[in-house]
Chains A and B, each alone.
Chain A
Amino acid sequence: MTSATTTSGTTADNASLPLSIQDLTVAWHRKPVIWDVEFDVSPGQLVGIVGPNGAGKSTLLKAVMDLVPRASGRISIFGKPWKQNRNRVGYVPQRESVDWDFPVSVLDVVTMGLYGQIGWCRPVTRRHREIAREALDRVGIGDFADRQISQLSGGQQQRTFLARALVQNADLYLLDEPFAAVDAATEQAIIEILREMRQAGKTAIVIHHDLHTVPTYFDSVVLLNMRVVAQGPTASVFTRENLERTYGGRLTLLDEATEAMRRRERTL
């Protein structure tokens, strides 16, 4: 992935890059969540984002899709801002982010992946439902299409989300902890599908927690703890030293400055 963070990358270069992030800072209530993040992702790769809780991993993905306001930075998706290439990005949020008691069927949820193509005020047709059914078969839960989503197990819920992303037929996928609390069979099914996607030239950026599986799952990694600690091919970057730097408990100067800033704000 890292085509050696070129800050002077021309648009022509960028057009082939699924994702290019430059100088990205996101802050909540003036408290920085991610700071000066910069990296490129090249096509046809499975990229893992690894880092401790609160490192800003989810925020990073959300910033890519303009779901959180950014304080600074440029993000391009295949050389264009997200708004213009919206349909080329598929997003799988954390499972807890939705209300699983909502009165919709599994098929309804998967069909939502097609809404981006359907457009405002146009109805969902039988053809759309067919596509959704195929995606459900592909992730192995075709038999559950007509169930209400609350009747699914955790693994099946995650597969539903994956099927929803599949029907989007995007070129760049952003997955927020797809492997969290799923059974072994689901984990295997998900990684198989991610590999199929890669085969088809697609790119997936995956927030991941299980450090053991990182080397087998991902071609490259971004080690994140507010800032990018290290990034590049898994083989060379995913080292003990870099992990210690990512997860290490020592306060850096920046952390101290942030903490001081926060304290001061509170007393204002």
Chain B
Amino acid sequence: MSGLIAWFSSYDGLIIITGILCAVAAALPGNFLVLRRMSLLGDAISHAVLPGLAIAFFLTESRASVPMFVGAVLVGLLTAVLTEWIRDFGSVDEGASMGVVFTTLFALGLVMIVQAADHVDLDPGCVLYGSIESTPLETVLVAGHEIPRAILMLGSVAILNLLFVIVFFKELLISAFDPGMATTAGYSARLMHYLLMVIVAITAVASFETAGNILVVAMFVVPPSTAYLLTTRLSRMIVLSLIIAVASAILGHWSAKAVPGWFGFGSTSIAGMMALCAGLLFLLAALFSPLNGVVVRVYRRMKLARRILAEDVIALLYRLEERQPGRSVPLSEICTRLLSSRVATQWAVTRKVHKGFVELTDGGYRLTAVGQRAAAELVRSHRLWEHYLVTEGISPDVIHRQAEKLEHYTDRELRDRLQTESSAPALDPHGSPIPEERG
């Protein structure tokens, strides 16, 4: 335990804590930005606070001051207000109006900061990219302990944001999901919107002058978006986003030190690497999310294709046996008739053999009694569909292809309904008998 404390109060430990606090503080309100489809407002506000900070530098000639903080938060809020105004009165869409507002304010801030740098001890580069590396150096005295100012500030903001999300969970949820409903239930969606904007602006300002712009902008959006891919419940999404935020900060710190070394370079921007790690985690989630990730989708599609092929095999064996009872069919013939590849077909047949649906006899394959039953269901579905489609006025030339697809998605209940609606036919439109339902 004491070892852990010692490590965390080491120089690197303090940097990681700063990164974690910034990431957590931003990810908390970020969830609601993402769900309300205004993710970029976090970005916009983070940039737009710059002139607020600059004015404060001019007025107070120092960095640590309450008026500066308040001023910057107000300018941040102004971004949200101005964006709405320009959208409503300037007849441009939300994205354009946001772009106009925050780039203009940011540019104004930039011009001012460069001027201010001549008068105040201030490094424009440091303000833009952040200087998470040097945060442990600037400390304040709290109850006899020297605490880095960044940790004090970001820690307070993280706690504030956590309380905000817990206390207003229900209100944030309803105003994000259904603003009209929220307002009619007495929770003004507008009020919640501006409360959220205040929180975003406070987070942006606190992060801007400690951990830098890149980190906070990324953490508003990336961890919540990643979490969104992994769950279907808001509460879990928020918890996951925090875990991802913390992981990005730790991974980012480690890679900033380690990765450039592999290529013979010195260490790189820690805040940048933390944001980059968040992006990589998002990529992982997009690829491997069990809900709807790329891999799962490909796997599901392959699994479905295999199931359909295996079902086609037993249906084929059933039809061939109808014509010539007791016959066993060689693999090559199955492939030719189903127009399928040898490997895939061999795999499908082997699977059906393992399940006891198909047996190998005299160099060919034949349905077992269990296989007969399963195949009869498929063929029954197929022929019932053909009958139904013809009665629906669809040309007999095309019904086979449609029935071929539908048979794989037809269960007992649907078959029974088809049977009743087509008044229990005995033959399909091609004259083949429709097998009876068994069991």
Mutual binders A and B:
yes
16 intermolecular pairs with C-beta atoms under 8 Å apart: A98-B178, A102-B35, A103-B233, A104-B173, A109-B177, A112-B174, A112-B177, A115-B174, A115-B187, A116-B185, A116-B186, A121-B170, A122-B170, A123-B170, A124-B170, A148-B233
Q: Find out whether the CB atom of A67 lies under 8 angstroms from the CB atom of B183.
A: yes
Q: Is B59 an interface residue (CB 8 A)?
A: no
> Across the interface, which residues of A come within 8 angstroms of B170, CB to CB?
115, 118, 121-124
Cβ of B167 to closest chain A Cβ, rounded Å? 5
Cβ of B199 to closest chain A Cβ, rounded Å? 15
Q: Is B168 an interface residue (CB 8 A)?
A: yes
A interface residues (Cβ-Cβ under 8 A, vs B): 62, 65-67, 86, 89, 91, 93, 97-99, 102-105, 108-109, 112, 115-116, 118, 120-124, 148, 150
> Across the interface, which residues of A come within 8 angstroms of B178, CB to CB?
93, 97-98, 112
Choose among A89, A103, A120, A124 the residue that contacts B228 (Cβ–Cβ < 8 A).
A103
Cβ of B133 to closest chain A Cβ, rounded Å? 36
Q: Find out whether the CB atom of A86 lies under 8 angstroms from the CB atom of B186.
A: yes
Q: Is B234 an interface residue (CB 8 A)?
A: yes
Q: Which 8 A-B pairs have the closest CB atoms?
A: A116-B185, A148-B232, A115-B185, A103-B234, A65-B184, A98-B178, A103-B232, A102-B177
Choose among A91, A105, A121 the residue that contacts B168 (Cβ–Cβ < 8 A).
A121
Identify the interface centre among A66, A104, A123: most chain B CB within 10 Å of its CB: A104
Q: Find out whether the CB atom of A89 lies under 8 angstroms from the CB atom of B184.
A: yes
Identify the interface centre among A62, A65, A89, A116: most chain B CB within 10 Å of its CB: A116
> Across the interface, which residues of B come within 8 angstroms of A62, CB to CB?
180
Q: Find out whether the CB atom of B171 lies under 8 angstroms from the CB atom of A120.
A: yes
Q: Please name 18 further chain A to chain B contacts, defined as beta carbons within 8 Å, in addition to the given A103-B231, A123-B169, sorted by A numbering.
A: A66-B183, A86-B186, A91-B180, A93-B181, A97-B178, A98-B177, A99-B177, A102-B176, A103-B234, A104-B177, A109-B177, A112-B173, A115-B182, A116-B184, A116-B185, A120-B187, A121-B167, A148-B233
Known contacts A103-B233, A148-B232; A67/B184 CB under 8 A = yes
A62 to B183, CA, bound (A): 11
Q: Is B358 an interface residue (CB 8 A)?
A: no
Chain A residue with minimal CB distance to B31?
A103
Using an 8 Å CB-CB cutoff, how does the interface string of B176-200 with A read, 1 for contact, 0 for none? 1110111111110000000000000
Using an 8 Å CB-CB cutoff, how does the interface string of B234-255 with A read, 1 for contact, 0 for none? 1011000000000000000000
Chain B residue with minimal CB distance to A91?
B184
A62 to B181, CA, bound (A): 11
Secondary structure at the B interface, as helix, strand, loop or mixed, is helix
Cβ of B162 to closest chain A Cβ, rounded Å? 15
Cβ of B184 to closest chain A Cβ, rounded Å? 5
> Across the interface, which residues of B come within 8 angstroms of A93, CB to CB?
178, 180-181
Identify the interface centre among B168, B170, B228: most chain A CB within 10 Å of its CB: B170
A105 to B183, CA, bound (A): 21
> Across the interface, which residues of A come within 8 angstroms of B171, CB to CB?
120-121
Chain A residue with minimal CB distance to B234?
A103
> Across the interface, which residues of B come within 8 angstroms of A108, CB to CB?
173, 234
Cβ of A109 to closest chain B Cβ, rounded Å? 7
> Across the interface, which residues of A come within 8 angstroms of B177, CB to CB?
98-99, 102, 104, 109, 112
A102 to B31, CA, bound (A): 12
Cβ of B339 to closest chain A Cβ, rounded Å? 35
A102 to B184, CA, bound (A): 20
A98 to B175, CA, bound (A): 11
Q: Find out whether the CB atom of A105 lies under 8 angstroms from the CB atom of B186.
A: no
A62 to B184, CA, bound (A): 10
Chain A residue with minimal CB distance to B231?
A103
Cβ of A262 to closest chain B Cβ, rounded Å? 14
Cβ of A64 to closest chain B Cβ, rounded Å? 10
Cβ of B104 to closest chain A Cβ, rounded Å? 25
Chain B residue with minimal CB distance to A90?
B184
Using an 8 Å CB-CB cutoff, how does the interface string of B140-181 with A read, 1 for contact, 0 for none? 000000000000000000000000000111110110111011
Q: Find out whether the CB atom of A67 lies under 8 angstroms from the CB atom of B232.
A: no
> Across the interface, which residues of A come within 8 angstroms of B182, CB to CB?
115
